[in-house]
Every structure is written in structure tokens, then in C-alpha cells.
Amino acid sequence: MKRSFSVFAEDIPLYSGPKAARDSYADLKQLSAIPGHIYTRLELQILPSQRRFSKVPWLVPMLELLPPTSIGHLKEWGLSTVFVLAKNYNKLVHVWESVTAMTELWHPQTNTFVFPGFEATILLEELEIMLGLPRYQRGEEPTISYTVEQINSWSILAYITTKKTDLYTMTSGMHVHLLPIAQWITSQCKQKTTNYTAIAKAAAICICGVILFPKSDGAISFGNLTIIDSISEGMKIGQAVLGFLYAGLTSVALGGPFYGSVIALELWMGMHIQFRAVEDLTTECTTMLNHPLVYVGG
């Protein structure tokens, strides 16, 4: 579904040339003068753990096998945009130079990007619109109930399969591996089973693990597994996705690994910031043809 991002339109100052941009950027970095901050560490030419966001060869073939009923469940749970991004994941181009430039402006204490004269950050409302996630409604907070009952992550996986060999293949330590889950989905689809809800839940784990909660290579934590599973129960997960991205930005700003939804970050950057790759502004930038905004209606 196409959506308009005109609500985020901003007045963009005239581009005054590469020298002025470089001088301004040098001043910007001084605003985040924090010991150990990434901008002071010249040895970090690329983001730590950048390779975790490479192509995922098993993702698209698995999604192409999903039965229409399971896809319908994903749409009912508010994952239509995440599904579209996942189906086009191997086409997406991450511009790591611009991502790195933004992480150098991230302030870990305020969770904001520090610019001359103002600060900016990714808002929950923006993230929900960009990713098409179910939105928090003002006034519904008092209706939220809390429980201290322990969540059993194994029971979530047991809803998908009760075979012990499958369960042990899908997990190690406190992490859930996505590839074995995708292989289980592929097997179920090829056998034409009618367990559509279980297939949809397993697919939600895979696409959310890749798009919303990427951290370890091809795996998600048990904590994020429970968050993803709550989608099918009608829970909103925007806050969890945003908090995970904030934590990842703070981690990389202090020299640690980068994790979180880099796609959400690039969507936000694409709406608010103009990046100049060359001095000749008439040069076509083919990278933008596969920017995440292209696939969400921007």
C-alpha cells in the first residue's frame, strides 16, 4: 500500500558546496564530545558488525512459498509493510557511509542526533508510519494490563513444532536461529499442510528478525521472540522496535556492535536528510533506486 510522507516535509536549505558541508560536519562532531565516542576512533572505518546486514539467501524463496491464508494472517497482524520489505530485502542497498555519519552524531545520553542549534531523533509515531506497524492510540494506556507470569519462550516455538529435533536445531543458548525456522516453513509449504496460523507465526519470526530486530548473525534473542509473538495477540511492538534501535545506536556510538533496524533508520534519514554523493547535483544516483523508501511508498 502506498502512503504519503508529506507530513514530514521540511524546508531544506540551499546546498552551499562540499567545502562548507565538510566544515559544518567537522563542527557537528564536536557537539558529541563523549569519551570513547565513535567519531574519535579513526580506526573504525566501517561500523562494527556491519556484515550482519548482508543478503539473506533463504528469506525470499521461503516467502514466495507462503500460502495466501498465512499471508493474510501477517496482514491482519499489521506486518504488511514488513512483509514487503522482507520480500525485497535482497534488493535493498544500505548506504553505510551515511549511516556511519549519523552514528557519529548520536548522543547516548539523550538518544538524539546532535545538529547545530537543534537535536533530532526518530519518533515512535514516525517509526510506526514508516514500517506500517499497529499504532499506539492516545488514551489507551490505562487499559494496558501487566502480568508477572513468566513467559516460556519454548512454548512459543512448540506452537510451531513439537519435534524435539526441530526445537533444538532452532535454538542455542538464549538465541533462536532463523534459518531452521525458515526451513521448517519451506517444508510445511511444500507438503501443503493446512497449519496456516503456525506457518504465519513462524514467518513473522523470520521477517521481524531480519527487518526489525537484527542483532546476532541469523538469530534473535528469546526476549525479542516473545515480542514478535505478541503481535499475533494484538500487541503493539513499535516501542520495542524503537528502543532496540536506540540501544544499537548507543552501542555503535561507543565503539560496540551495531544492531537494530537499519532499515527504519534509513527510512527516517531518507525523509529528513539530503545526502550529497557527488559535487555535480545533476548526476543520477542509482543507489536511491533501491532505497528502502522506494518499497514503502516514499
Please write the tens of the pLDDT for every residue from 56-78: 899 999 999 999 999 999 999 99
Would you place residue 109 in the very low, low, confident or very high pLDDT band (cuts 50, 70, 90)?
A: confident
In a domain, 297, yes or no: no
- Number of domains the chain contains: 1
Residue range(s) defining the domain that contains residue 191: 61-137+151-272
Would you place residue 141 in the very low, low, confident or very high pLDDT band (cuts 50, 70, 90)?
A: low
In a domain, 101, yes or no: yes
Burial class for 283, CB neighbours closer than 10 Å (0-12, 13-18, 19+)? exposed
Please write the tens of the pLDDT for every residue from 208-248: 999 999 876 788 988 899 999 999 888 899 999 999 999 99
In a domain, 221, yes or no: yes
In a domain, 95, yes or no: yes
In this prediction, residue 69 carries a pLDDT of 96
Name the average pLDDT for the chain: 79
In this prediction, residue 48 carries a pLDDT of 45
In a domain, 41, yes or no: no
In a domain, 39, yes or no: no
In a domain, 143, yes or no: no
In this prediction, residue 24 carries a pLDDT of 58
In a domain, 33, yes or no: no
Please write the tens of the pLDDT for every residue from 175-206: 889 999 999 999 999 999 999 999 999 999 99
Say yes or no to pLDDT of 283 above 80.
no
